[in-house]
A and B are shown apart, each in its own frame.
Chain A
Amino acid sequence: MDGSGVIAPPRAKIRVESVVKTYAADRAAARTTALQDVSLHLGEGELVCLLGPSGCGKSTVLNLIAGFERPEFGAVTVDGRPVERPGPDRAVVFQQPQLFPWLSVLDNVTFGPRMAGVPPARYREDAERYLRLVGLTGFERHAPYELSGGMRQRVALARAWIANPAVLLMDEPFAALDAQTRLTMQELLLDLRRATGTTILFVTHDIDEALFLADRVLVMTARPGRIKAEVAVPRAAVRDFDNLFDAPAMAQRRHDLIALVREEARKAAP
């Protein structure tokens, strides 16, 4: 049931190998270790949730893959190429949508292709398609500040997806939304993933969200962050969110994950 996670699958899309990341602490002489020997691999088309208490370094893992930060030791590769800087092959969706408020919805979605000099004829259809997939057909001319929080995050999803990235990195993208909107967005994400087959690393602190979305859940320890456990989710048992834990296999995994996360949360804040 639980994969070992140590041996990389042959066609790993994302590889993080024995990564160490430290930060200069504000007042202390010693550096704070954010990540201690972290390794993980994502296969082509996998959706993996990185779960852990706040401050455990799960966003740091994502930042390393995105290329926002560099590790002290270890290696990060995407499609076999070492990550050196941010690039459009690794789309990122942040907790806040980070739209450009001076651009319309359509101009936000097409920002990447336009900056890359792609002629409008080539991205127009994609823009229509992704706006339809996220349910925003008819809102092309709206300004971001005219939309609700959930709609803004839909625009961010379409903007990330239109470049057809090798991997999609999501940093607690639905954490700031209300419960009802969050569920709608989670269902939307699963639909989008089914339609595109994109490899997704999804950072969250929400156990139910992880079990609803993921093929595999990686649990991180409190700082210094390490991968503590790996839980495979039997996707066949996942149907709708309301009855997510009717299946005994799912209820058991939820029980296990709660125990694992609680233990780390206690360490982080004694």
Chain B
Amino acid sequence: MTRTDGTRGSALRRPLLSLAATAAVLAVWQASGALGWIGPNLLPTPTEVLTTAAELAETGYRQVPLWEHVAVSLARAMAAFLAAIATGVPLGLVMGVSPTASALLDPFVQFLRPLPKLALIPLVIVWFGIGEFSKFFLIYLATFLSVVAGAAAAVASVGRDRLRAAEVLGVNRWQMFRHVLLPSTLPDLFTSVRLAIGIGWTTLIAAEMVAATSGLGWMVVNAGAYLRTDVVLLGIVLLGLFGYLLDLAVVGLRKRVVPWMGRE
């Protein structure tokens, strides 16, 4: 009895604490504006941000409805993420399996990966113009490089004895890759995709600085130029919220696909 209660208590404890912390920060934020500690142009209160959200939801920002800003950003990011995973995972796995491929490609991956993608914007504009492809390319590149590095490391971390156990069961090279190595890397692959999506999402704002006319990143930058701090804050809240939801989606998918993670 005590144990059941204890378990239930601790299961509820975490979300309750998180909720309480969020509420406390929102309350202090609200109070700072309501009590006049900080001017409304410097930091609009949560209620002001909510009012702005309602306004923009009805009238849009710069002739573009709010949902469209959200949808445009999500579509750009999702297209780039899917392309990055579809190309980055196979390439990373090949680098993990083949020392030759790794020796050939690793210098480029390791050089480009830590590079701030903002530095590439002028080149990307010169190469690809100011259309959708430039924005896609910047998010794609950031996510792709991170996925490649993660997938290659995932192969390296597969235990030697697991591979040996498969060898003595008589697998050939292809079976070893398909039936042992690939599923063994799944937990680490999910972790690297999760990190890569975080990096890709932060690149979104850089990508939407490339002469966009809609999107959450563009909205934040544009509103900043007109000192609409309420819109800036709304954009930040939405960017954070959807980043968080994307992460939850990846974690949820991981729990379904890799139920053994952390339980081996």
Contacts and interface: CB of A to CB of B under 8 A. Distances in A.
Nearest to B257: A102
Interface of B: 159, 161-162, 164-172, 175, 179-180, 183-184, 186, 258-260, 263-264
B175 A115 contact: yes
Given A66-B164, A94-B161, A115-B175, A101 B260 contact: yes
A115 B161 contact: no
Contact of A100 (B167, B168, B170, B183): B183
B256 to A, nearest CB: 12
Contact of B161 (A88, A90, A98, A111): A98
B169 A102 contact: no
Given A102-B186, A144-B260, A116 B170 contact: yes
Indicate the size class of the contact surface on chain A: 20 to 34
27 contacts: A66-B168, A68-B167, A86-B164, A87-B170, A88-B168, A90-B168, A92-B164, A92-B168, A94-B161, A98-B159, A98-B165, A100-B162, A100-B166, A100-B180, A100-B184, A101-B260, A101-B264, A102-B183, A102-B186, A115-B175, A115-B179, A116-B170, A144-B264, A145-B264, A160-B168, A163-B169, A163-B170
B contact patch SS = helix
Contacts of B168: 66, 86-88, 90-92, 160
Interface in A187-243: none
A112 B264 contact: no
Interface of A: 66, 68, 85-88, 90-92, 94, 96, 98, 100-102, 111-112, 115-116, 143-145, 159-160, 163
A86 B167 CA distance: 6
B175 to A, nearest CB: 5
Nearest to B164: A68
A153 to B, nearest CB: 12
Contacts of A86: 164, 167-168
B99 to A, nearest CB: 18
A92 B161 CA distance: 10
A57 B258 CA distance: 37
Contacts of B165: 92, 94, 98
Contacts of B180: 100
Nearest to B187: A101
Given A100-B183, A115-B179, A143 B171 contact: no
A115 B170 contact: yes
Nearest to B260: A101
Contacts of B179: 100, 111, 115
A49 to B, nearest CB: 20
A143 B171 CA distance: 22
B161 A145 contact: no
7 closest residue pairs by CB, A with B:
A101-B260, A88-B170, A98-B165, A86-B167, A112-B169, A145-B263, A102-B183
B97 to A, nearest CB: 18
B169 A145 contact: no
